[in-house]
Amino acid sequence: MKNIKIIITVCIACLACEKKDDGNGYKLVSHFSLDSTRMDKNNYSTNAIVALNGSLSSFIDEPNGIGKVGSCLNLLHTATLECRENLFFNYKSEYRKIKDYSISFWFKIRDRTGEDPNIFYCSTNDTTIHFLGPDFLGIALRNDSLVIAHPDRNSIPGFIKFKSITFSKTDWNHVVVICNSNYNVYLNGSLIYSASRITSGNQYLNFVQIGNAYLNAGIYMYVDELMVYNHPISSIDVTNYYNATK
C-alpha cells in the first residue's frame, strides 16, 4: 500500500510539471485563487502583491463569497494586483529561459472614475512599464469597449496599435492573453485579437498588473482566479477552462 501511495504521488507531480518537448524546462502554471490570500496554490511562485497607488486607494482581500469561483479580490480606485519578481520564484532558472507565456483571469467592473480610457491590465517582458516598452500589452476600458494596445514595430518603431472590442461591462468576463509569435487575446472563450509580436531585451514575462494605477482615473473591479503559465496554452485549453468555470 505504501508503494502504491508513492507511485500516485509521483504521477501527480509529473502531471503538474510536464516536461517540454524542447527540453527547455517544465510546463508550469501559477494559480492565484484570491480566495483569502495572494498565494500561489501550486507553490511555483511566491505571493502576488497589492499596490496602493495614491491616498484614495484601498482593497479588500478576505473571504467574501462574491468571486467567480469562491471569493475574489476587490480592487478599489487605484489599487492594483501585481506580479513581478515573485513569478516562478522557485523555478527561476527554468522560467527565465523562455519568452512565451499565457495569462488568464476573471474580472467584473463595478464602477469607474476620472479620465478615459482606464487601463486595467498590462503586461511586459521588460521592467519599463509604458506603451513604448519592448513587449507591452495593455487592455483599457473606453465606454462599452475593451481597447487593446501594444507597440507595432512592423510599421513605425514606437508606434502604438489600438483595437476596440465591444463587451458586457456589467458581467463577469474571462480574459486570456497568450504570447507566442503573436499577441493573442481571448474574451470569454473566443479569440478577439491577434497581432504579430516582436520581443527584445528580457525575453521572459517580467510584469503583470491588473487594476488601474493612474491617479487621474480609478476602477472599482473584482478580480478572480489569476493564472500565469510559463508557456503558450492552446485555444482548446482556453475553451475548456472557460466552459468549466463560466
Task: Please tell me the total count of domains within the chain.
Answer: 1
> What would the pLDDT profile of 49-75 be if each residue is shown by its tens digit?
998 887 666 677 777 889 999 999 999
230 in any annotated domain? yes
**Measured between alpha carbons, how far is 67 from 64 in angstroms, rounded to an integer?**
7
Report pTM.
Answer: 0.85
Distance in angstroms between the alpha carbons of the first and the last residue of the chain: 39
9 in any annotated domain? no
Domain hosting 76: range is: 29-245
42 in any annotated domain? yes
**β-sheet bridge partners, residue 196:** 182
Query: Shortest CA distance to 192 belongs to which of 148, 129, 135?
Result: 148
6 in any annotated domain? no
Contact 212, 82 (CB under 8 A): no
19 in any annotated domain? no
45 in any annotated domain? yes
Query: Shortest CA distance to 136 belongs to which of 154, 148, 118?
Result: 148
Q: What ranges in the chain are assigned the alpha helix state H?
A: 2-16, 92-95, 235-245
The CATH number of the domain holding residue 234 is: 2.60.120.200
Q: What is the pLDDT of residue 61?
A: 75
21 in any annotated domain? no
Q: What is the pLDDT of residue 101?
A: 93
**Measured between alpha carbons, how far is 207 from 82 in angstroms, rounded to an integer?**
7
**Measured between alpha carbons, how far is 151 from 221 in angstroms, rounded to an integer?**
26
Contact 69, 172 (CB under 8 A): no
Low-confidence stretches of the chain (pLDDT beneath 70): 1-25, 55-58, 117, 126-134, 153-159, 199-202
Torsion of CA 9, 10, 13, 17, to 10 degrees: -170
Q: Which residues of 124-137 are buried (b: 16+ CB within 10 A; e: fewer)?
A: bbbeeeebebbbbb
Contact 228, 208 (CB under 8 A): yes
DSSP per-residue string spanning 197-240: ----S--S--EEEEE---TTEEEEEEEEEEEEESSPPPHHHHHH
